Amino acid sequence: MERNIVYIALFSGLIAVLGLLPKLTLISGIPITAQSLGVMLCGVILGAKRGALAVLLFLSLVALGLPLLAGGRGGLGVFTTPWAGFLFGFPIAAYTTGYIMEKFKHMPISFTASFAAFFGSIIVLYVIAIPYYMIGAKMDFFQSLLTMSPFIPGDIIKCILAGFIANGIHKSRPNSVLSWANSR
């Protein structure tokens, strides 16, 4: 019980840390913030329920006024923009990612984690975020997709990284991968 709560709290802090890291420049030179990678890893490492709770905790603190979003943004205002669909989708994305992790334990962890992150934190997230943007910004589907397209390559790279990182965590601290632990 204590362990669950501390893990949820510290992973929610990790989402903030990843958002505040200096922008990581990838091979192709696209600068990305790692915040959504934090959301993916919450689902991947903590599993569905705890992962979603960690993200909810993070979002609550943003709403209460802490500048924890990438670029030091925060407060109630960020939830009113058309991009807020991503924020509202984050807990669901983490839940889906964690759910997939919990269901597929027989494959190598890097593969499962990348797949779970791809399905949960890209497909599911964009399915929520695009309609939200369409309504908020009064745009049609293709315009919305076009607006978001610069972020999609970075997101796909983050999925692959989530696989590598999950593999590293699983190798060095196997007990901490709560989504794969047998007892619950």
Size of the site for another protein (CB under 8 A): 61
Is there a contact between 114 and 160 (Cβ–Cβ < 8 Å)? yes
Question: Quick check: 26 binds another protein (CB under 8 A)?
Answer: yes
Provide the token pair at 61: 């603190």
Q: Determine the residue type at 51.
A: G
Q: Find the binder of another protein among 134, 136, 145, 156 (CB under 8 A).
A: 136
Residues 109-128 that bind another protein (CB under 8 A): none
- Tokens found for residue 133: 């943007």
Interface residue with another protein among 111, 123, 141, 173 (CB under 8 A) is 173
- Residue 30 is a binding residue for another protein (CB under 8 A): no
The one segment of 19-27, 92-100, 109-117, 120-128 that binds another protein by CB under 8 A? 19-27
> Measuring CA to CA, which residue among 46, 40, 30 is closest to residue 114?
40
148 part of the interface to another protein, by CB under 8 A? no
39: helix, strand or coil: helix
CA gap 139, 142 in Å, rounded: 8
Cβ proximity to another protein, 106 vs 155, nearer residue: 155
One residue of 104, 127, 145, 147 binding another protein per CB under 8 A:
147
- According to DSSP H, which parts of 65-151 are helical? 84-103, 109-118, 125-137, 141-148
Site for another protein in 43-102 (CB under 8 A): 45, 57-58, 60-61, 64-68, 71-77, 79-83
Closest approach, Cβ 139 to another protein, in A, equals 6
Alpha helices in the chain (DSSP H): 2-20, 35-46, 48-64, 84-103, 109-118, 125-137, 141-148, 152-172
Strand partners for 25: 31
Which residues of the shown chain bind another protein in the complex (CB under 8 A)?
A: 1-3, 5-14, 16-18, 20-22, 24-26, 34, 37, 41, 45, 57-58, 60-61, 64-68, 71-77, 79-83, 136-139, 143, 147, 161, 164-165, 168-169, 172-173, 176
